């Protein structure tokens, strides 16, 4: 914000609209240190997936950890955007997938335009979604209904998800104060890289070192692992 105001005032000075840049006299306040990003180990991820089976957030966690869907994308996901069957008889076969076209951000759009994508799902994701759907009342499984919503069918907010996620983390024997839902995506990328099969990721090509998840405690993917690919079979991360 300071940079934007400073640039605007300097442009105004160049056009003799004002005589003095008062923004340059202001000190920029020091912000709080951000929370360092972390990644689950393979054993921690498997423990979390196992513990989640007894909670309503099970399918949410499976999708976040196995295909790297962002938490704000899953909260905006509708059943019409989920294909649980695919086209196995096609050439080549089309796997089950979910389409990410929106999120719960202020403008309803995804993080970037390139974030609009289809994510192929391994069988573990399909199974979790089928069980999730079967537990829901019929009016919440229509095409226009949210896949993950409140009991009234409205959007979950971040607090809802964090509160439910902490219960799963505790059940998995992990410190519930140390982990947040967003770190599931970080873990997906790190496990994908560490698996030795990083060619199935969906990060933008040429930008692995700039992906914000790859900070302290999160393994950066290789250049090959950063190649954009809209399908991921889930094999590098824990499966049954």
Cβ-proximal residues to 202 (8 Å cutoff; 6+ apart), any chain: 68, 117, 119, 228, 229, 230, 232
List the pLDDT tens digit at each of the 240 positions of the chain.
778 888 888 888 888 888 888 888 787 777 676 666 788 999 999 999 999 998 999 999 999 999 888 888 888 889 999 999 999 999 999 999 988 876 655 555 566 566 678 889 999 999 999 999 999 999 899 999 999 988 888 888 889 899 999 999 999 999 999 999 989 988 998 888 877 654 443 433 333 333 333 333 333 332 233 233 333 333 333 433
pLDDT for res 106:
53
Strand order in the sheet with 97-100: 82-83, 97-100, 117-120
**Cα atoms found within 13 Å of the Cα of residue 2, Cβ hemisphere only:** 9
Specify the pLDDT at position 109. 56
So what's the pLDDT on residue 223? 29
Cα distance between residue 97 and residue 24, in whole Å:
51
Q: Is 234 helix (H, G, I), strand (E, B) or coil?
A: coil
Side-chain half-sphere exposure of 45, counting CA atoms within 13 A: 26
pLDDT for the residue 156: 86
Structure token pair of residue 234:
């889930």
Q: Which of 62, 181, 61, 207 is nearest to 122 (CA)?
A: 62
Spatial distance between the Cα atoms of 84 and 23, rounded to a whole number of angstroms: 55
Residue 47, CB-side half-sphere exposure with 13 Å CA sphere: 12
pLDDT of residue 50: 94
42-52 and 58-67 helices, crossing angle to 10°: 150
The sign of the CA dihedral 224, 222, 128, 124 is positive
pLDDT of residue 202: 41
Q: CA torsion sign, 206 to 43 to 129 to 156?
A: negative
Domains along the chain with CATH numbers: 1-31 (no CATH), 42-210 (1.10.443.10)
Sign of CA dihedral 99, 55, 232, 212: positive
Distance CA 230, CA 63 (A): 14
Predicted pLDDT of residue 108: 55
Cα separation, 233 vs 67, whole angstroms? 8
pLDDT for position 3: 82
Prediction pTM value? 0.67
User: What is the pLDDT at residue 229?
Assistant: 33
Q: Look-up: residue for tokens 């300071």?
A: 2
């Amino acid at each position: 914000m300071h940079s934007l105001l400073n640039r605007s005032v300097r442009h105004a000075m160049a056009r003799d609209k004002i005589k003095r840049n008062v923004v340059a006299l202001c000190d920029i306040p020091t912000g709080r240190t951000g929370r360092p990003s972390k990644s689950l180990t393979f054993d921690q991820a498997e423990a979390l997936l196992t513990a989640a089976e007894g909670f309503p957030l099970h399918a949410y966690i499976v999708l976040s950890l196995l295909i790297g869907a962002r938490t704000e994308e899953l909260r905006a996901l509708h059943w019409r955007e989920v294909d649980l069957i695919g086209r196995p008889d096609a050439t080549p076969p089309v796997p089950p997938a979910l389409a990410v076209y929106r999120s719960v951000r202020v403008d309803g759009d995804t993080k970037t335009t390139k974030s609009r994508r289809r994510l192929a799902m391994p069988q573990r994701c399909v199974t979790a979604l089928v069980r999730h759907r079967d537990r829901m009342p019929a009016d919440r499984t229509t095409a226009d209904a949210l896949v993950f919503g409140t009991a009234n069918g409205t959007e979950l907010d971040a607090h809802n998800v964090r509160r439910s996620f902490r219960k799963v983390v505790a059940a998995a024997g992990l410190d519930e104060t140390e982990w947040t839902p967003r770190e599931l995506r970080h873990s997906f990328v790190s496990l994908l890289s560490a698996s030795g099969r990083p060619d199935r990721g969906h990060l933008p090509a040429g930008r692995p070192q700039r992906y914000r998840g790859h900070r302290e405690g999160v393994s950066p993917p290789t250049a090959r692992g950063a190649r954009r690919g809209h399908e991921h079979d889930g094999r590098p991360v824990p499966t049954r």
